[in-house]
């Protein structure tokens, strides 16, 4: 009997870097014949000279790797991989952005011809906190993170160290045991990633906590369009603990608009096109871990801005 085929699952929301990681794995396979099941080939960036054959829903590379499309039928895709002669050395499944990776990974525990590798979940450091606070996504993303054996915090080059630590704290709250690694361009060590073991116990999908309870949200809305430099001044040194601050300022004549963004202590303010439906004024939203949000400081800053205008 042939040895069981090790299977690793890559998950993460849209834009977290799953495809970048798949490309990275295929380029750095170093002699391993990896078979990757992807949702679509569209973004698989393989130099033409490395492609040996393209046939229907599979792509064979010169280095021995294969990339196959799931095409909406995981049963068929997985059966075909197991029927391949010779068997690949390692199977990697790229889950869709809203998939529950634990459900997919479980098949490697159930199927005798597969052996379970890690669930690798990518998180976009720039947007993670915001995504987790979106009511439509909170549970799905929280479950993805909770299911991980390895969490890759991606795009770390574009986020300052302080919020990165806060994000790691956030990930730790959602998943007590997974290894957490900071990466850029999803460039993780291929050897480590494929060798990362799965948890020994089955994942209980029914035990999901409410992730919305982990955050606090603060918002501010004013019909008055303060001068942009005053707004910048008021937000210059933000209180600690904020994961994300975001806002829009639209001038009284609706001729100009500015976007305010911050993942650290100092916001960046950029001119942007005036959104068609936006009315004049200032709108701000901030997210922090529960208990870490200094509402009073933020309220005071903004109230000060309003007062100043009146004088």
According to DSSP, the β-strands at 179-182 and 257-262 are unpaired
Min dist CB 246 to other proteins, Å, is: 16
Min dist CB 42 to other proteins, Å, is: 4
Torsional sign, CA 94, 100, 102, 104: negative
Compare residues 76 and 266 and give the one whose CB is closer to other proteins.
76
241, 293 in Cβ contact below 8 A?
yes
| Element of type H or E holding 39 | none
259, 230 in Cβ contact below 8 A?
no
Applying CB under 8 A, the residues found at the interface with other proteins are 13-14, 40, 42, 69, 71-76, 78-79, 82, 96-98, 100, 102-107, 109-112, 136-137, 139-140, 201-206
Min dist CB 185 to other proteins, Å, is: 22
Compare residues 116 and 267 and give the one whose CB is closer to other proteins.
116
Compare residues 52 and 73 and give the one whose CB is closer to other proteins.
73
- In three-state secondary structure terms, 157 is helix
- In three-state secondary structure terms, 133 is coil
Angle in degrees, 0-180, between the axes of helices 138-147 and 101-110, rounded to the nearest 10: 40
Compare residues 73 and 308 and give the one whose CB is closer to other proteins.
73
Min dist CB 76 to other proteins, Å, is: 5
**CA–CA dist 254, 78 (Å, integer):** 55
**CA–CA dist 71, 38 (Å, integer):** 8
Compare residues 201 and 270 and give the one whose CB is closer to other proteins.
201
The phi and psi torsions of 119 (rounded to 5 degrees) equal: -95, 120
Compare residues 99 and 302 and give the one whose CB is closer to other proteins.
99
Min dist CB 110 to other proteins, Å, is: 5
Min dist CB 77 to other proteins, Å, is: 10
């Amino acid at each position: 009997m042939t040895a069981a085929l090790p299977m690793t699952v890559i998950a993460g929301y849209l834009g977290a870097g799953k495809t970048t990681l798949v490309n990275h794995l295929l380029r750095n396979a170093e002699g391993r014949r990896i078979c990757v099941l992807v949702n679509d080939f569209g973004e698989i960036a393989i130099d033409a000279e490395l492609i040996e054959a393209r046939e229907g829903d599979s792509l064979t590379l010169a280095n021995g790797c294969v990339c196959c499309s799931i095409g909406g039928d995981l049963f068929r895709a997985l059966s075909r991989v197991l029927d391949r002669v010779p068997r690949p050395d390692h199977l990697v499944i790229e889950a869709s952005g809203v998939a529950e990776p634990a459900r997919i990974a479980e098949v490697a525990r159930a199927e005798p011809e597969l052996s379970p590798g890690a669930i690798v979940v990518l998180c976009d450091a720039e947007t993670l906190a915001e995504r987790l606070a979106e009511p439509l996504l909170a549970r799905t993303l929280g479950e993805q993170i909770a299911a991980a054996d390895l969490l890759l915090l991606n795009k770390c080059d574009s986020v300052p160290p302080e919020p990165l630590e806060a994000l790691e704290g956030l990930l730790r709250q959602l998943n007590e045991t997974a290894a957490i690694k900071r990466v850029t361009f999803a460039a993780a060590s291929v050897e480590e990633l494929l060798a990362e073991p799965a948890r020994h116990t089955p994942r209980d999908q029914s035990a999901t906590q409410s992730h919305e309870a982990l955050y606090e949200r603060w918002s501010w809305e004013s019909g008055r369009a303060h001068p942009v430099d005053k707004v910048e001044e008021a937000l210059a040194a933000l209180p600690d603990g904020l994961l994300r601050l975001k806002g829009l300022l639209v001038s009284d004549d609706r001729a100009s608009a500015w976007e305010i963004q911050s993942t650290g202590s100092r916001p960046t303010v950029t001119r942007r096109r005036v959104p068609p439906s936006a009315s004049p004024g200032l709108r701000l939203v901030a997210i922090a871990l529960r208990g870490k949000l200094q509402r009073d400081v933020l309220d005071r800053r903004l109230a000060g801005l309003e007062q100043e205008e009146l004088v």
